[in-house]
Amino acid sequence: MPLFNNWSVIAKGWYIACTSHALRQGEVKSLKICGQQIVVFRGADGRSRALDAYCPHLGTDLGLGQVEGNWIRCAFHHWAFDATGRCQNIPCQSEIPAKAKLQAYATEEKYGYIWVYPEADAPEGVAEFDELQGTAIVAHSDTAFERSCHHHICMMNGIDAQHLKTIHHLDIKMNLFLHQNARGTQMDFTMQGQFPQTTWRERLGQRLLGSTYEYSMRYAHGCMGLLTMMKNVRLLPPLHMIFAYTPVAPGRTRIQPIYVTKKRQGFVGGLINHFLLLCTRWAYYLLKDEDGKIYDHIQFNPKVLLDIDAPLAQYMAYVNRLEVSRWSHLHQPKESLID
* The pLDDT value given to residue 33: 96
Question: DSSP character for 211?
Answer: S
DSSP states of 157-198: GGG-HHHHHHTT------EEEEEE-TTSSEEEEEEEEE---S
Q: 214 versus 70: which is more confidently predicted?
A: 70
pLDDT digits (tens, 9 = 90+) for 281-315: 998 887 776 777 887 888 888 888 888 888 889 99
Q: Please report the pLDDT score of residue 285 as a whole number.
A: 86
Residues β-bridged to residue 106: 117
What is the reported pLDDT for 294? Answer: 81
Tens-place pLDDT, residues 187-227:
999 887 776 677 776 677 777 777 777 788 999 999 999 99
**Cβ atoms 123, 20 nearer than 8 A:** no
pLDDT in tens, 122-165: 999 999 999 999 999 999 999 999 999 999 998 988 788 777 77
pLDDT at residue 266, as a whole number: 94
- Is the pLDDT assigned to residue 337 strictly greater than 50? no
| CA proximity to 17, closest of 288, 327, 319 | 327
The pLDDT value given to residue 125: 96
Closest CA to 309 of 176, 172, 155: 176
List domains and CATH numbers for the chain: 15-117 (2.102.10.10), 130-298 (3.90.380.10)
pLDDT in tens, 160-181: 877 777 777 666 666 777 888 8
**Per-residue confidence (pLDDT) for residue 335, from 0 to 100:** 46
325's CB contacts (< 8 A; 6+ apart) are 10, 11, 12, 13, 118, 119
